[in-house]
Amino acid sequence: MNEMMNDEPGNRVSRRLSKAGRRQQLLDTALKIIREEGADRLTLGHLAARAGVSKPVAYDHFGTRSGLLIELYRNIDTTRVRAFQDAMAAQDHSVEKTARALADAYITCAADTTDEFHAVGAALAGSEEKAAVFQELLDQNVDMFVTVLMPHSSLAPSELVRRCVGLVGAGEALSAALLRHAYSEAAAVETFAALIEGGLSMFSRRP
């Protein structure tokens, strides 16, 4: 069903959106609330008011505040992964540059505890749904590693996937250590890049 829309309370220009379009508009507005007001202010009622829709519309899309946070968590990560893949696909990177780019993107994301991804994750702390969506996002990161590293691989696809599972696991361990202040961000990036490149050196395509 199409719905009337106001992007913000002061905006009186209305247009109709598809259900998918409405959902994305609500997610974009939710992200804006977190950036401007903090995650504690994100409720379905406040989201509806900021998006210029009725409360039932917000509840119809997400059901609960936890459901909204889960979808937002997933949406932020998916957007980042796609942006990184697009950036890597736009250039012909060497093995060294590819490894460095992957390591830098992964570790820098973990180090930035002030961004909206960490804010949403903190708001989901203790949620039963978080563990499931976290595993889903890990699998998505494995897919990203496979896509980015495949041009440098001569392995069978199944073996490449297994190695990427290991690399993502290493990235998670380094990220956790970084958050415990066990290492500096620069040291974690260098170590992760070396692990990625070291793995690739065993199955690099020769020119």
pLDDT classification of 56: cutoffs 50, 70, 90: very high
- The sign of the dihedral angle between the CA atoms of 66, 68, 71, 76 is negative
Give the separation between CA 202 and CA 155, rounded to whole angstroms: 9
Question: Which of 26-30, 77-81, 95-99, 117-121 is modeled with the greatest confidence?
Answer: 26-30
Residue 15 has a pLDDT of 56
| β-sheet bridge partners, residue 204 | 153
- Write out pLDDT tens, residues 90-115: 777 788 999 999 999 999 888 877 77
What's the token pair of residue 202?
């065993």
Q: Give the model's pLDDT for residue 88.
A: 82
Where residue 170 falls among pLDDT bands split at 50, 70, 90?
A: very high
Query: What is the rounded average pLDDT of the residues 138-162?
Result: 90
CA distance 167 to 163: 6
pLDDT at 138 over 70: yes
Fill in the DSSP letter of residue 39. Answer: G
Q: What per-residue confidence (pLDDT) applies to 203? A: 47
187-206 tens-digit pLDDT: 999 999 999 988 876 544 44
This prediction's pTM? 0.76
Which of 25-29, 32-36, 50-54, 125-129 has the lowest average pLDDT?
125-129
Whole-number Å distance between alpha carbons of 7 and 168: 38
The pLDDT value recorded for residue 14 is 38
